[in-house]
Structure 1
Amino acid sequence: MRRFLVLSFVLFNFIFVFSLKIGISQIVDHPALNSIYEGVIDALHAESIQADIDYQNAQGIFQNALAIAKKFKNDADFVVAISTPSAQAAKNEID
């Protein structure tokens, strides 16, 4: 229990002291995928999480999704891949 409290305290301070860099990759502009993006942003705001959001759209091209994932590997603390192709690209480049 003590470890949990210490870890919670550290994470809480990290989130509120440092701004997270979150990379969001989406394969194509589509209403269903856009609603996921909006939900992520709303959830961050609801939890008062300060984050620098880098939203990238691959325009339906898998090679673009790979390039986006490669960029996020170096620049983002956390990656949200919206859609299967974006998740596959992130897995290939980041993992």
Structure 2
Amino acid sequence: MNKLLITAAIASALAGAVATAPSFAGDDMKKDKADKEKCYGVAKAGKNSCASADGSHSCAGHATKDNDPNEWVYVKAGECVKMGGSLTPPKKM
């Protein structure tokens, strides 16, 4: 009976820890995103943050050349233009 009680207590503690972890992570992610901006045209090959503006791929790390205007990375807010990048995607043709 003691083993069952101990197992239940451990399971309950772990479930509580797991249930509260996402709320803290979500707050940190919102804060991190608020301090950053999408910067087009400065990503190095294989280092883009997510999908390309022209739709040629939908995943991070798939940029094939440096400084492609369709590729973007998150940078610290206020740094994009200083780096020679653009805050807006290129116009579609």
TM-score tier (shorter): 0.3 to 0.5
Which is greater in Rg? 2
Q: How does the TM-score come out when normalised to structure 1?
A: 0.32
Structure number with higher helix proportion: 1
Which has the higher relative contact order, 1 or 2, with Cα contacts under 8 A spaced 6 or more apart? 1
Structure number with higher strand proportion: 1
